[in-house]
Structure 1
Amino acid sequence: MKMTRKAAWTCVAACCLLSGCHKEQGDAKNETSTKAERKGSADEVTLSPQVQSEEKVQIAPVELGTAAATQRAKGRIVLPDNATWRVGVLAEGRVEKVYFNLGDSVKKGQVLARMHSHDVHEARAAYANALAERSRLQAAEALAQKNYDRSQRLYTLKAESVSQTEMAKQELVNAQSATREADNIVRREATHLEETLGLRADASADSSDDADLIPIKAPASGRILQKAVTPGATISPSTDAFVIGDLRHLWMLASVDTTTLSKLRLGQTVTVTLPDVPEATYAGKITNLGQEFDPVTRLMQVRIEVRNPDTRLRPEMLASAEFITGDGMPTVLVPQEALQQVNGEDVVFVRLASDLFRVQTVQIGENVHGKVRILQGLNPGEQVITHGSFIAKSQLLKSSIGD
């Protein structure tokens, strides 16, 4: 009987041990399941209230705003005809000195280069001859004046006839006329030297080594966009030595179809953007609606004047123009800082619970009053992370690496 009780107690103990083992295994499974639930799916991120507070994460509801209907057109940046200067010369010669290079900023009147020309020697010789001839004629005029004065005195003394006095007077008039003509020739030769060739007429007043080198000057302030001269190069009046452009004012030629063209007007404001620099936006104004359609593309080139205060725009850059072509319409808007890029897609983080957020892929549109238009992926009223969305992105990437 004692042996029977002992065996019974042994069985009870064994059952308890087995029951305990099963309970521990069950608790372990429950704990694993709980952890899996906490971890969530791959498109969810957990941010504890403490992390949100420390990182100053801000959450705001998605707004329903108003955006005007717009159309985009591609095009390119070009130099305007009225802000481009081609710098040439009026005489043939050889370039001796060049002071500026491509991309340099210049001011109106600055000397860009200097050249030697045989025209300078011919012009100086002509000017010297004109001076000598004027001196000779001035001396002849002085003599004619002296003779006329003498003739008048003799006529008063009845020692000379009227005809002789009139002849002396006529000789004085002729001498004065010749002197005036000589003055005109001197001024003409001086003008040719100073205004046409850019040299001082009085060579003795300029003792520098460049006194006989023709200066090539900038006709306006701007930036050197083309340069076709180097020291030793021969240049002629048919050559453009430099091309200067004012990059603060440029044109964009935007290619638009007939539907878009019918909704545009002269003077309409336009937003110009660069595809490679998303944050760069420029204000523009339509100044010409084009003349004829391209027979191949069936597109019209609309001319837009663009202000370029930071001079980041350059001729021949590709650009996009955004035209307002309709009235305002309801649209979903979020702050720019709410957007992040994950795997090449634009995403926001939508709040599911106080510490749980879902990665939501969205399709974005244009900027509207400092916010981004959401074309697809969000509904008004949903709460998204605005400030601090990069914290959620970092947590998402860490979770992906951990997996």
Structure 2
Amino acid sequence: MRLAPACRAMFLMLAPLTAWAQDGPPALPPVVHMDEKAAVNEGLAITVAKPGHLVASLPVMTRVMPDAVRVVHIHPAGTGKVVQVLVQPGQVVRRGDGLLRYQDHSLHVARLQAIQLRAALSAAIAARDDAASACARGRLLAGQTVSVAELRRRQDALAQAQATVRARQADVDTLGHRFAEEFNSSSEHDGTDEISTLIAPFDGTVMTLDTSLAGDLTPAMDVASIADLSRVWLVSDLPPEQAVRVQPGGTQVTQTAQGSVTSQIETVDGVASPLTGLVRVISAVPDPARRLMPGTVLDATLQTHEDAGGIVVPAAAVQEINGQSVVFRRLDSATYAPVVVMVVLEEGGQAVVQGGLQGGEPIVGQGSFALRSIIGLAGMDAD
């Protein structure tokens, strides 16, 4: 087969090819010619090969999740029945805002118990005061109308009465602590008529609300959850063979509707999930503007610990010819020399190559396929 005159006019003239080897592919020609006008028509772009290194990255799907340490699950302190629901899932709340109110039966029982304990304390104090008065009179009359044995009995009675007062006071203090720390806390405060209100412990977003009007509540129930979404997790689930390629401290770049978000890989689970067989990789991202919606799935890349150094060229500059990777070095405005290289790593449209190139040499970046085509067509013509 021979090149048609039209093909020769477009690609001009190829330098004489080296003779075909009898037992292998043909050798590359020393140079390829293409005049400036043809180069412009074919979109050839000249760039400079530069020394450098690239770090490999891993494309993944990542999902947005609330930061687990910034999620609080709200439990009621007592048992009761919901009388008013004040929020909805997804609603932004401020610290102290009410979530729901409920008739707190435990609060009612505790208040009745408080009355009983205060009454018991008052009775113990009265008994102690009587014992103290009897003991004081006994000391004044000791050896006269009051025997020494009777004085000792009165002193023992006083000590016992004082111990009873301390015990009753401890009961009152314990219940008071319960009112202060259980029925009134960062997530709940009590009110009048045994109505308790569950409140937001910090500024955040209502993630879940698992009750309704007239619903029954118990302390074991997870009634609601509040999340601080000013910082979220980006979670990727990887097969173990990919997870070993990434490590904490690496960079994650996530594509969102507003642009790319760069974060740092914080944790790589040491074991795979028994349910999925995948390894969880977590990156944390500050998000004060609430741009990242929990549950969203996004495209991302994870930096690996694999890197390579050498000469960095555009990946489009590398062409496969006769099973070899070739880059075209520009000799002058119309002459290009094919240089065999070895591609060590390709990443982000760039490639690290080793071989016959030196840093600072001009090479064909975009459009090198046209030069490859000339070699292919000339080889066919040689047939």
What is the TM-score of this pair, normalised by structure 1? 0.59
Provide the secondary structure at the position in 2 that maps to 1:310: coil
What is the CA-CA distance between 1:148 and the residue it aligns to?
A: 0.6
Distance 1:64 1:118 in 2: 78
Q: How far apart in 2 are the matches of 1:250 and 1:181?
A: 50
Change (3 A) 1:236 1:284: same
- Give the corresponding residue for 2:213: 231
Aligned length: 275
Q: What secondary structure is seen at the aligned counterpart in 2 of 1:216?
A: strand
Q: Relative to structure 1, is the Cα distance of residues 300 and 172 closer, same or farther in structure 2, using a 3 angstrom cutoff?
A: closer
Change beyond 3 A, Cα 1:138–1:167: same
Conserved? CA contact 1:78–1:252, under 8 Å = yes
Q: Relative to total residues, which structure has the larger helix share, 1 or 2?
A: 1
Higher mean alpha-carbon deviation, 312-321 vs 139-148, is at 312-321
**1:165-192 C-alpha deviation (Å, 9 max, x unpaired):** 1111111111111111110111122223
Name which one, 1 or 2, has greater alpha-carbon Rg.
Answer: 1
Corresponding residue for residue 253 of structure 2? 271
Change over 3 Å in CA distance of 1:258–1:128 after alignment to 2: closer
Residue aligning to 2:36: none
Relative to 1, partners in 2 of residues 1:88 and 1:188: Cα closer, same or farther, differing over 3 Å? same
After TM superposition, the structure 1 = structure 2 runs for residues 1-400 of structure 1, keeping only pairs within 5 Å, are: 68-155=55-142, 158-198=144-184, 210=192, 212-274=194-256, 277=257, 279-292=259-272, 299-325=278-304, 326-327=307-308, 330-332=312-314, 380=365
AA aligned to 2:62 is: G
| 1:21-69 deviations in Å (ceiling 9; x for gaps) | xxxxxxxxxxxxxxxxxxxxxxx9xxxxxxxxxxxxxxx9978787543
Contact 1:282/1:307 (CA < 8 Å) preserved in 2? no
Partner of 2:284, secondary structure, is strand
> Cα distance, 1:313 vs. partner?
1.2
The whole-number CA distance in structure 1 between the counterparts of 2:191 and 2:288 is: 40
The Cα offsets for residues 109-135 of structure 1, whole Å up to 9 and x where unpaired, read as 443222102222211111001111111
Aligned counterparts of 2:313 and 2:193: Cα–Cα separation in 1: 70
User: How far, CA to CA, are the matches of 2:242 and 2:92 in structure 1?
Assistant: 39
User: What letter is aligned with 1:312?
Assistant: R
CA–CA distance in 1 between the matches of 2:274 and 2:218?
A: 37
> Separation in 1 of the partners of 2:198 and 2:135?
51
The residue type paired with residue 280 of structure 2 is Q
User: Taking every aligned residue pair, what percent have the same amino acid on both sides?
Assistant: 20
Shift of 1:227: 1.4
* Residues 1:141 and 1:258: Cα distance change in structure 2 (over 3 Å): closer
Contact persistence 2:82–2:213 (CA under 8 A): yes
Q: Structure 1 residues 257, 116: CA separation in 2 closer, same or farther (over 3 Å shift)?
A: closer
Partner of 1:140: helix, strand, or coil?
helix
Segment of structure 1 superposing worse, 241-250 or 173-182: 241-250
Instruction: Provide the alpha-carbon RMSD of the alignment.
Output: 3.5
Structure 2 CA distance for partners of 1:211 and 1:64, relative to 1, 3 Å: farther
The structure-2 alpha-carbon separation of the partners of 1:313 and 1:210, relative to structure 1 and needing over 3 Å to count, comes to farther
Amino acid at match of 1:180: R
Q: What is the Cα deviation at residue 213 of structure 1?
A: 0.8
1:287–1:305: 8 Å Cα contact kept in structure 2? no
Rounded to whole Å, the distance in 2 between the matches of 1:173 and 1:316 is: 66
Q: Which runs of 5+ in 1 are unaligned?
A: 1-43, 45-59, 200-205, 334-364, 368-372, 383-403
* Contact 1:253-1:301 within 8 A present in 2 as well: yes
| Structure 1 residues 130 and 209, CA gap change in structure 2 (3 angstroms) | closer
Query: Counterpart of 1:184 in structure 2: which amino acid?
Result: A
Residue type of the alignment partner of 1:153: L
Letter in 2 for 1:291: V
Distance 1:180 1:144, change over 3 A: same
Displacement of 1:137 in angstroms is 1.1
Paired AA for residue 90 in structure 1:
A
2:240 touches 2:272 (CA, 8 Å); kept in 1? no
* Partner deviation per Cα, 1:344-367 (whole Å, 9 max, x = no partner): xxxxxxxxxxxxxxxxxxxxx998
Letter in 1 for 2:83: E
**Contact 2:82–2:214 (CA under 8 A) maintained in structure 1:** yes
- Provide the secondary structure at the position in 2 that maps to 1:77: strand
AA matched with 1:213: I
> 5+ residue gaps in structure 2?
1-40, 316-345, 352-362, 368-383
